[in-house]
Amino acid sequence: MKNFGIMFGKEIKEFLRTYKVFVVPGLFLLFGFTSPIITKVLPSLLSSLAEEINFVLPEMTWVDSYGQFFKNLNQMGILAIILTTMGTIAEERNRGISQLVLTKPVPRTSYVLAKYAANFLPIAFTTVLAFFATWFYTDVLFPDTVFLNGLGATGVYIAYLAVILALVILASAMTKSAIAAGGLTVLGLIILNLLPLFSKALSKYSPAVLADYIYQVAGGTAASGDVWGAIACAAGTVIILLTTASLVFSRKEL
């Protein structure tokens, strides 16, 4: 695609020069290193409370360690991604930067796709690094840790992340306000999470159910056909969202 490589290089350099290079990667790596440790020490911290209420705490395993890691990524990680990327296009339009960039022979589709790729690839790479940190400490702290389960769950999470980031890019292309883009993203996530309620097929293959499949893959209980079907639907959703973002942005005044 014309000038995509140039735009992608520009966006990567911008990513590395701004706070984004510290916030999301730093947070993900923090979760990677601390999740197994928290899982290991949590029963000891809660033991006295459990004795007072006659509750027996279950023994933590490597599955719980993986679960804690992905729980953190699904909550604080997703929030951090939305907050750091919601102004990706909106803020540049608001400050007139996109107008300067697009006066050159740069197609708006290339502009949108470069924004997406330059945010997605570093975050996906950091997610893999964070998983390796979690796997290493989980393997040290818990017996019989299964590497491939965690790696597969990481792949499912990245597919889920791809959809969310595409939704953020679409929201950012629709407005000149980062706050408004964040609000539209949250609204989109709510709608996305409601879709599985409407049919049995959506409850299996909607991109939203990837959030549940992450834990099932980590624990080795997932139905592989359902997971791959949801990943395929997620890929289609990303294409639709980015195509829509390009069409919307092409009709916007800079």
- The sign of the dihedral angle between the CA atoms of 156, 189, 168, 35 is negative
Radius of gyration of the chain (CA): 20
State mean pLDDT over 160-188: 93
Instruction: Report the predicted TM-score, pTM, of the whole model to 2 decimal places.
Output: 0.90
Q: For the chain, what are the domain ranges?
A: 4-250
d(CA 68, CA 34): 9
Cα dist from 134 to 37, 65, 130, whole Å: 9, 8, 6
Q: Quote the tokens at residue 71.
A: 């729980």
Quick one: pLDDT band at residue 166, thresholds 50, 70, 90? Answer: very high
* Per-residue pLDDT at 225 exceeds 60: yes
Mean per-residue pLDDT over the chain, rounded? 87
Decide if 1 contacts 107 (C-beta within 8 A). Answer: yes
Q: Quote the tokens at residue 173.
A: 């292309």
Report which of 150, 90, 88, 97 is spatially closest to residue 120, judged by C-alpha positions. 88
The tens digit of pLDDT for each residue in 12-65 reads 887 778 777 788 889 999 999 999 999 988 877 766 665 666 666 678 899 999
Cα dist from 127 to 26, 34, 153, whole Å: 10, 14, 11
> Which position has the higher pLDDT, 247 or 93?
247
> Which position has the higher pLDDT, 45 or 188?
188
The tens digit of pLDDT for each residue in 87-137 reads 888 877 777 666 666 666 667 888 889 899 999 999 999 999 999 999 999
Least confident of 60-74, 94-108, 182-196, 218-232: 94-108
The tens digit of pLDDT for each residue in 75-87 reads 999 999 999 988 8
d(CA 89, CA 17): 17
Decide if 204 contacts 226 (C-beta within 8 A). Answer: yes
**Residue type at 123 in one-letter notation:** I
* Per-residue pLDDT at 7 exceeds 90: no
Decide if 36 contacts 138 (C-beta within 8 A). Answer: yes
Quick one: pLDDT band at residue 177, thresholds 50, 70, 90? Answer: confident
